[in-house]
Structure 1
């Protein structure tokens, strides 16, 4: 039995802790704040409750696997999961609206044809067919295997997996530097413009990048996998919000004997003889450990640069090892008078400009009695991506988001009882991420710039999990990182994932 110190209490950290405890190890989680969940938090007031982090689940199999592997009680007995259907309603800048059903490629094609014109659905599904090729080529190395450390860590994942060349006659009309000499598209925007043509379809594809804080003009072509995953496996909502999932994982950890120490920030990882030997806490005390699992970066080691990145890529196309300069979330929580309309979509995406830049405003309106004081009220969450760091005039930006939703016909502004504005600084305070930057999932291509820190570090006995480690951000990906780290610790550094 090894003594294992886990730094942080986010989803990836707790996933690793629960699995390691089940394997017979003595696990202690050190969390600098006073609660678990990392960025998966809740804001409550006057009978209203809101998710302040991600509001939907994708790839729920990652969470189901965690609960199966750590006890007899499956996930569905601990959290009520519902697949949202319709999946999303898009409001385009020209006034067009399209509602897309969940997990039905045929239904999506029919909806697109009806709203955008004949052949729109065929073009979209042809793109998703190529996205399936990307998914099949990268699913295991991106999601189910730990990332190796070293100069060749990216390996094949650094190469563009998008399968279809762009015709050369189209390239001749494009701006210089927009495609490689092979004629293959190199960015998601190139894919969108070459394959979809209709500006609304282009906006639809690019909205998946915007939702993760990625720039479509820089994100690799392999980012086509983002809509493929969502339309193939669906989006899921935990009754009570995603905080209910964090609570269930925390309860599973406690049931398996994991010890939590809140208000115990870790200043650095201690090492001796080329091996991790424990942690030094913010109060100067030290705790010995045989293995350290660091989440959110690796404090006090040569892979920690103060950015929270832990030595991986930046997630927005910068070279590996640079600090993250990606996007943060700006969120407006709305307490609304009046009942939720029966035809309201759980998720709406408003295609608009935010402070003069193209982007989207995502509006989540769960039909969940746990989030409102009574059926005569409604809770809504508006989110957009912004640069990391302080936001100038946040109340004015909040007004802009509400106005964009109202311009799309959602009718929220006149119903507001009160609102709470959540800036990147709030997220930074909860997670320690500089500037409140939110990590995106890993993507293949771009010479490995969209990969994250390998799960095993050069220091023996030190491993990394969470959104800033492989396989990146998002609830499912962070949870998978915990599984990968647990596998490396239990099975040895040569472990290459479950078969």
Structure 2
């Protein structure tokens, strides 16, 4: 039995703790905040409830595996409800389109009905290519520890496989090979943002993101997706895991083998193994500031940070006819959005709030999240540059958050969703708030982005260079999003092994 300390009670840390507890280890989870969940949070106010992080679950098999290997099946603990339609999209040319939750054939039919038979055929062909990429990359890139460039060289033994994955091609480039309609190309581009990335630079392998969503469905947990984190925490404690909140870690002690952690209170806790569920940049910069973290800092310096998000939690009076669970309102110029977020193109070196952003709205028709049937709780998110005062992007600048929120509400009105006269209150959360709440650098949602052909190999490995130190969560391999976070925990549990 190893003494294991998990730093951070986000879903990655909690999932690793549950798996390691079930394997017989003595596990303690240390969380700096007052509540668990990390980015998978909940806000309740005046009868309204909001998921403050992810609002849907894809690839639920990852969490079914977690619960089966630690006790009762997932469905015995949580209700999973499929979303159909999964999302409503409004495009700048006027097209409104519901993405069905009825599988890949249903998505192709929906495109054909909206844009004609060619669009349906194009999407079906694209989905077949994405399925091929998924089959080739799932095991070596998602379910196994990354073995550097040797992982890619393993594919190179078969030229047909390397052509399928096309590591030299961007997601946008792949879309242009298959999709003629601008609405379909814009729709595909958005999937790069699921990893905090720019579709012009993210690899074609991200075609697996829409493949997973369409092949395995989009799922919701009545009462809020935050309950997934609570259920994983309950499973962990059932195996003897201790979860301590309001317990910020100041340092991981290693010389060179891991010896334990020191809390900000000054208390030192010994450990044989430390699993870090915090952002990798925070780990290597702040918790391992000495020589032990030098290699990690050097690797992260080569990676491109992910985008952040500007959030509004809207408490609304009245109901919206025909409102879907998810709605996406696209802008006229998507490239301008990515330039503002990443400081590229005309915004080179000058990231700034997007004047005309894509607006994402999560508004579950869930009685548990509103005071009564005559109200709605909306989570509104737009892509945003990270908080970086030294680089000129200061989200704490007086009046900036309020004026930007006002602008977004105006953009929503221009695109057919004017809720300004129904607004009871609005709670704003900026990238600076996200940084303070989760200690993610600049509020980067996913740590490193997937920008660049080598991005997967720049993401911090699950086994660190420090003996006994492992990484889980969205900023480590295999990446961000609920499915990949769960896979990172499974990889780490396998690396550590049974007691």
TM-score bracket for this pair, using the shorter chain length: 0.7 to 0.9
> 1 CA distance for matches of 2:56 and 2:473?
18
Instruction: Tell me if structure 2 keeps the 8 A contact 1:89–1:347.
Output: yes
> 2 CA distance for matches of 1:27 and 1:44?
30
Structure 1: state its 5+ residue gaps: 166-181, 314-319, 493-499
Query: Who is 1:187 aligned against?
Result: 170
For the pair 1:351 / 2:330, whether they are aligned, the reply is: yes
> 2 CA distance for matches of 1:160 and 1:203?
28
For the pair 1:130 / 2:112, whether they are aligned, the reply is: no
Instruction: Provide the aligned length of Structure 1 versus Structure 2.
Output: 462
Query: Who is 2:276 aligned against?
Result: 294
Equivalent residues in 2 for 1:13-412 (5 A)? 13-71=13-71, 73-148=72-147, 152=150, 155-156=153-154, 163=163, 186-272=169-255, 274-296=256-278, 297=280, 298=283, 299-300=287-288, 302=291, 304=293, 321-322=301-302, 324-341=304-321, 343-352=322-331, 359-389=357-387, 390-391=394-395, 393-412=400-419
Question: SS of the counterpart of 2:247?
Answer: coil
Once the two structures are superposed, residues 454-477 of structure 1 have per-residue CA deviations (whole angstroms, 9 ceiling, x without a partner) of: 111122211111111111111121
**Displacement of 1:357:** 6.5
Query: Who is 2:346 aligned against?
Result: none
Instruction: Tell me if structure 2 keeps the 8 A contact 1:160–1:444.
Output: no
**Displacement of 1:155:** 5.0
**Displacement of 1:248:** 1.1
**Displacement of 1:154:** 6.1
> 2 CA distance for matches of 1:133 and 1:226?
13
**Displacement of 1:157:** 7.8
- Residues 443 and 61 of structure 1: CA distance in aligned 2, closer, same or farther (over 3 Å): farther
Structure 2: state its 5+ residue gaps: 338-352, 388-393
Question: SS of the counterpart of 1:119?
Answer: helix
Question: SS of the counterpart of 2:454?
Answer: helix
Instruction: Tell me if structure 2 keeps the 8 A contact 1:451–1:472.
Output: no
- Residues 379 and 438 of structure 1: CA distance in aligned 2, closer, same or farther (over 3 Å): same
> 2 CA distance for matches of 1:103 and 1:139?
23
- Residues 483 and 449 of structure 1: CA distance in aligned 2, closer, same or farther (over 3 Å): closer
- Residues 289 and 247 of structure 1: CA distance in aligned 2, closer, same or farther (over 3 Å): same
> 2 CA distance for matches of 1:351 and 1:209?
14
Question: SS of the counterpart of 2:188?
Answer: helix
- Residues 161 and 394 of structure 1: CA distance in aligned 2, closer, same or farther (over 3 Å): farther
Question: SS of the counterpart of 2:302?
Answer: coil
Question: SS of the counterpart of 2:497?
Answer: helix
Instruction: Tell me if structure 1 keeps the 8 A contact 2:171–2:207.
Output: yes
> 1 CA distance for matches of 2:97 and 2:407?
23
Question: SS of the counterpart of 1:147?
Answer: coil
Query: Who is 1:173 aligned against?
Result: none
> 2 CA distance for matches of 1:288 and 1:82?
42
Instruction: Tell me if structure 2 keeps the 8 A contact 1:209–1:219.
Output: yes
> 1 CA distance for matches of 2:493 and 2:259?
18
Q: CA RMSD in A?
A: 2.8
> 2 CA distance for matches of 1:74 and 1:476?
17
- Residues 245 and 367 of structure 1: CA distance in aligned 2, closer, same or farther (over 3 Å): same
Q: TM-score normalized by structure 2?
A: 0.86
- Residues 228 and 68 of structure 1: CA distance in aligned 2, closer, same or farther (over 3 Å): same
> 2 CA distance for matches of 1:229 and 1:444?
20
Query: Who is 1:413 aligned against?
Result: 420
Instruction: Tell me if structure 2 keeps the 8 A contact 1:303–1:311.
Output: no
Question: SS of the counterpart of 2:358?
Answer: strand
Question: SS of the counterpart of 2:198?
Answer: coil
- Residues 344 and 453 of structure 1: CA distance in aligned 2, closer, same or farther (over 3 Å): same
> 2 CA distance for matches of 1:304 and 1:349?
40
Higher helix share: 2
**Displacement of 1:125:** 1.5
> 2 CA distance for matches of 1:91 and 1:452?
34
Instruction: Tell me if structure 1 keeps the 8 A contact 2:155–2:162.
Output: no
> 1 CA distance for matches of 2:99 and 2:462?
37
- The partner residue of 1:485 within 488, 492, 499 is 492
Instruction: Tell me if structure 2 keeps the 8 A contact 1:311–1:452.
Output: no
**Displacement of 1:192:** 2.3
Instruction: Tell me if structure 1 keeps the 8 A contact 2:303–2:459.
Output: no
Worse-matched range after superposition: 218-227 or 384-393:
384-393
> 1 CA distance for matches of 2:35 and 2:464?
27
Instruction: Tell me if structure 2 keeps the 8 A contact 1:86–1:102.
Output: yes
**Displacement of 1:162:** 7.3
- The partner residue of 2:438 within 431, 440, 446 is 431
Question: SS of the counterpart of 1:79?
Answer: coil
- Residues 185 and 6 of structure 1: CA distance in aligned 2, closer, same or farther (over 3 Å): closer
Worse-matched range after superposition: 215-224 or 389-398:
389-398
